[in-house]
Amino acid sequence: MAHNNHTHLHGQDLPKVLQLLPNPFFALVEANNSHKFHFLKAWASPLPQDQFLETQAGSVQVLLSSSIGPPITAQILHLLPSLKLLVTISAGLDHIDLAECRARGVAIANASKIFAEDVADMAVGLLLDVMRNISASDRFVRDGFWVSKGDFALGSKIGGKQVGVVGLGNIGLEVAKRLEAFGCNILYNSRKKKPFVSYPFFPDVCELAANSDVLVICCGLTAQTHHMINKKVLLALGREGVIVNVGRGAIIDEKEMVQCLVRGEIGGAGLDVFENEPHAPKELFALDNVVLSPHHAVLTPECFTALRELVVGNLEAFFSNKPLLSQVENN
C-alpha cells in the first residue's frame, strides 16, 4: 500500500511544470528531474491544446518555453489563469507577450548570461572567417583551385578596425572584450548609454555604421529593433563594411542586405540567424564573402549543462518561495 502512495506522490502530487511542445532540451531537463517535478506535456494529450490547457487551468503555475515554435500569446496566458512563472530557455523574449505577462503578474525567468560567451565566440569566429576568407579559402583548396589557379583573394587585417557593437548587453560586452584583444576599436549603440564603459556611444545606429568597418548585431528583437538595420544603415556601413549577426534575423532587413551584398554595396556578412529560419536566402550561397551558420551559436555541451542547471534552479526556487535565479525585469 505504501508503495502505491509513494508512486502517487511521484506523479500527481509533485509540482507541475507545463510544456506546450516537445523540445530536446526539455527532455534533458526532465531526464534528471522527474522525481522533483511532474512534467505535463500538452502535445502528448489526445485533447486539442486549448481543451487540454482548460483541464489544467486551475493548477498549472509554471510554463517551460522556448523561442522555437509558436509564441506564448495572450490567448495561451488567458487559458492558464493560475500561471505565476514562465521559464524560457532563450535569452531573447521576442516570443512572449510581455505586456500580457505583466498585466497578469506572471514572472519571467530566462537564460540570462548563460549564452553570452558562446555567442560572442561565434560572433568573433564569423568575423574572422569573413575578413580572412577562411571558409572561402577552404573551398578553394578542396576544389583544387590552389593547384589550377594559384592566387587567392587577399584577406583583411582585424586589428585596428572600428567595430560597432549593436546592443551592449551580456553578449555585446563579451564580443567587445574579445575584439579589444585583437586590437580593434569598439564603438556601440544601445537603448541608453552605459555608464560603466568608456567606448564611444552612438545613439543613432546609422551614425554608428558610418563610423564602423564592422557592425556586430547582438541586441534582442523587439518592435523597436525589427528591421533596424535597413538599407540606409547598410549603405552607411559601406562597400568595405562587414556585418555580423548573432542576434535575431529580423533585426536586419534581409531583402535589403541580400541586395547590398549581391551588388557589392557592403563588403561581407557572417550570419548565424535569418528572418525565416531554417530558410536562408539562396542568393547568398554563391557569395564567397558571406559565411552562413544554422543558428547554433549557443549549441555547446557546456552551455546545455549550465542552462539545465539554471532552469532547474529557477524551478526549485519558485516552488520553495525563494528568489528566482534569472528573473527578467518586465517593467
Tens of each residue's pLDDT in the chain, 331 residues: 344 444 444 456 899 999 999 998 999 999 989 999 999 999 999 999 999 999 999 999 999 999 887 899 999 999 999 999 999 999 889 899 999 999 999 999 999 999 999 999 999 999 999 999 999 999 999 999 999 999 998 999 999 999 999 999 999 999 999 999 999 999 999 999 999 999 999 999 999 999 999 999 999 999 999 999 999 999 999 999 999 999 999 999 999 999 999 999 999 999 999 999 999 999 999 999 999 999 999 989 999 999 999 999 999 999 999 999 999 987 6
- Residues 82, 209 within the same domain: no
Helix then strand then coil, % of the chain, to nearest 5: 40, 15, 45
- Are 188 and 255 in the same domain? yes
**Is residue 67 a part of any domain in this protein?**
yes
Claim to verify: residue 6 and residue 49 sit in the same structural domain: yes
Active-site choice (117, 174, 248, 256) = 248
Do 267 and 134 share a domain, yes or no?
yes
Q: How many domains does the chain have?
A: 2
The active-site residue, picked from 117, 174, 295, 308, is 295
Torsion sign over Cα 303, 304, 305, 308: positive
C-alpha 61/C-alpha 80 separation (Å) is 8
The C-alpha torsion from 285 through 286 and 287 to 291, rounded to 10°, is 30
Annotation marks residue 295 as catalytic: yes
Within this chain, do residues 155 and 208 fall inside the same structural domain, yes or no?
yes
Same domain? For 282 and 157 the reply is yes
Instruction: From the candidates 54, 277, 283, 302, give the one annotated as an active-site residue.
Output: 277
Q: What is the CATH number of the domain that holds 288?
A: 3.40.50.720
Whether 57 maps to a domain, the answer reads yes
Instruction: Say yes or no: 158 and 272 in one domain.
Output: yes
143: Cβ–Cβ under 8 A, 6 or more apart, which residues? none
Q: Is 254 inside any structural domain?
A: yes
Q: Verify whether residue 117 is a known catalytic residue.
A: no
> Is the residue at 326 inside a domain?
no
66 inside domain: yes
Neighbours of 196 (CB within 10 A): 6
98 lies in some domain: yes
Domain span including residue 140: 116-292
**Does residue 125 share a domain with residue 50?**
no
N-term to C-term CA, the chain: 50
pLDDT confidence of residue 7: 42
Residues 34 and 99 in one domain: yes
53 located within any domain: yes
- Residue 242 counted as domain residue: yes
Q: Are residues 57 and 102 in the same domain?
A: yes
Instruction: Tell me the pTM.
Output: 0.87
**Are residues 123 and 102 part of one domain?**
no
Pair 306, 272 in one domain: no
pLDDT for the residue numbered 12? 65
